Chain A
Amino acid sequence: MANSRQYTDEELIQRVWDVEEIKKLIHKRVIYIANEMRKEELNDLWVQDPEHKKTASFGRNTGYYTGMDAIYDYYVVHHQNEREEQLKKLHAANPAIADIPQNLHIGCLSSHPVSTGLVELAGDGKTAKGLWYAIAQETEAQPDGTGKALWMPEKIAVDFVKENDDWKIWHIVVSTDLVSEAGEDYSEQEVYHNYETNPVDVEFGTPTIAKLIHNTDFNWWDNYPPMPEAYETFSDAVSYGPEGYVRPALYGLDSKEGRNFR
């Protein structure tokens, strides 16, 4: 339901500041990601209230991790393990790169700067929804001494909740549109999305709720995650968590289907 309230001047300027603080929060997340501060990000920028932690979620095109424990395992622990493995390989290929904690993330660069922020603050001021676009990149050092640099434009959709006067991330969906290696011709890739080899899907693993929530073969046809609309109060129906996901009506056929008559 759209927000049709009238606000006093005091309420309105507070709402204006709330929106600015929400945008600032997401901008800070950009820096935390660049700094490889994932654990700190979950601690500083995400929900801390136990009930909100239980219902927190991190979604990508192939599903959602739900609950802060699962998010932590994926976002922090799994990532750390991957980077430790990577460092071992780098060290094996080049012993000058010591396998020591100070070298974790050596040759890695994660840049997810956001733009095009669209934030809707609930009429009741307790939650907010936002959508951003990031022309992102991720680069990882390889044993052959190069860095594998990948462009990954993506939508970032976030639900926020106010806890003790601070805004916190509650649900997030990072929906990658495409992955393209720097210096390579994107058009030479196989046309259909390959879930076995796409680095974003491989990295995401098997989430708590595994389901295809955005099919990039159809561009933005399935409209997920959608733009936030004005709303009065938070409910599952408007959530960017799994409870709010709605498959497009009249989906029709999926990728590669519809050829059996030939």
Chain B
Amino acid sequence: MKSQLSLHERIRNANASQEVEKVKARHTYLHGRADATGEWADIWSRDPNCSWAHIFGRMRGFDQVWYGSVAQYDKMSFENAIELMNIYPETAGKDPRPLMEASVHTLVTDIIEVAEDGMSARGSFITPGVIHSTLTTDQKKYCNVLWERYGSDFVYEDGKWKYLHEQVCPDILSRMDCLNWAAEEYARITAPEEKEAPPVTLGEAPPVTDPGPLHLPYSVLGKPQNTVPWPEPYHTLDDENTYTSFVKPQE
């Protein structure tokens, strides 16, 4: 554990470790209100290497990430709101984004490493989450249980810590609290006609640069994936220490 860094560098990195925890938590609370603008305008790097990945693929570059994560996400909430206002007129005039749902991806089991050069940080997290909404277009409230894992890279830019890469790895999806995600999965695969597993994302997948699937959710017939391995101590963010390679795959 003995560090080669100077006292000043160690203190800088201790502070950095807390700052990236804050960036990650801010993501959770902004996402809980579907405030995609707040998230991508404020806590993300505009570095051309920024990326956001899910099962369906990886968006690369800020513009593609913005389109998929803000424009398309907002669009879903606006489409939902148009229907919702007919059923629940009291929703008219309110920001439609949080009315879509509260998607709360909590953060636990953080493993965080700050680069020796102090310019980046990496973290893996487990996120046992709840996704709920009260006023919905089918007039039934819902609460889904969604457990995922995150692999996140952060960079220090202009005096602030920002996201550079995020990879979201959904594992378990269930309903509060009437389903059994393992028993149902087994029933699905042993049924006379095997049905497809339910999707774990809202709406259609946005355009991506790296096609999916980039992670496989829990399946009885699969191994738990190690898509976002925990970070190890490292000197600087590079292709050996990143959740997203810095090179696009060959076409």
Q: Do chains A and B touch in the complex (CB under 8 A)?
A: yes
Which residues in A have some Cβ–Cβ distance to B below 8 Å?
A: 9, 12-13, 15-16, 19, 115-120, 131, 133, 135, 151, 153, 177-178, 180-187, 189, 191-193, 216-221, 223, 227, 250, 252-259
- CB distance A186 to B102 under 8 Å? no
With contact pairs A13-B14, A191-B140, A191-B141 given, residues A178 and B90 touching in the complex (Cβ less than 8 Å): no
Q: Beyond A218-B134, A254-B90: 18 further Cβ-contacts under 8 Å?
A: A12-B11, A16-B18, A118-B26, A131-B25, A131-B29, A151-B176, A153-B143, A177-B104, A178-B143, A218-B99, A219-B33, A219-B99, A220-B32, A220-B98, A223-B33, A227-B30, A253-B93, A258-B92
Given A117-B21, A191-B134, A216-B134, verify A182-B90 contact (CB < 8 Å). no
On whether the beta carbons of A219 and B15 are closer than 8 Å, the reply is no
A to B contact number (C-beta, < 8 Å): 139
Asked if residues A116 and B25 are in contact (CB atoms below 8 Å), the reply is: yes
Flag whether B91 is at the interface (Cβ < 8 A): yes
Docked CA distance A253–B102 (Å)? 20
Closest 10 CB pairs of A and B: A258-B89, A118-B25, A253-B90, A252-B93, A185-B178, A115-B106, A221-B98, A219-B102, A186-B176, A116-B107
Shortest CB–CB separation between residue B175 and chain A, in angstroms?
7
How many chain B residues sit at the interface, stated as a range, is 35 or more
CA distance A151 to B143 in the complex (A): 11
- A189–B106 Cα distance when bound, in Å, is 24
Tell me whether B139 and A255 are in contact (CB under 8 A).
Answer: no
Closest residue on chain B to residue A149 by CB atoms: B177
> Could you write out 18 A-B pairs with CB less than 8 Å apart?
A13-B11, A16-B11, A116-B28, A133-B28, A133-B106, A135-B106, A135-B130, A180-B143, A180-B176, A186-B178, A187-B140, A192-B134, A220-B102, A221-B94, A221-B95, A253-B89, A253-B93, A259-B89
- Residues on B with C-beta less than 8 A from A221 are 33, 94-95, 98-99
Q: Is B108 an interface position by the 8 A CB rule?
A: yes
* Minimum CB–CB distance for B106 against chain A, Å: 4
Answer whether residue B1 sits at the interface, using C-beta atoms and an 8 A cutoff. Answer: no
Give the Cβ gap from B231 to chain A, nearest Cβ, in Å.
Answer: 19
Partner of A255, one of B90, B98, B101: B90
**Majority SS of interface residues in chain B?**
mixed
CB atoms of B177 and A183 under 8 A apart: yes
B248 interfacial contact with A, CB 8 Å: no
Contacting A at CB under 8 A, from B100-118, are: 100-102, 104, 106-108
Q: For B26, list chain A residues within 8 Å (CB).
A: 118, 227
Q: Does B46 contact A (CB under 8 A)?
A: no
**A116: B residues at CB distance < 8 A:** 25, 28-29, 106-108
- Most chain B beta-carbon contacts within 10 A, residue among A115, A218, A227, A259: A115
Interface flag for B2 (CB, 8 Å): no
Please state if B135 and A153 are interface contacts (CB–CB under 8 Å). Answer: no
Question: A259: which B residues are within 8 A, CB to CB?
Answer: 89
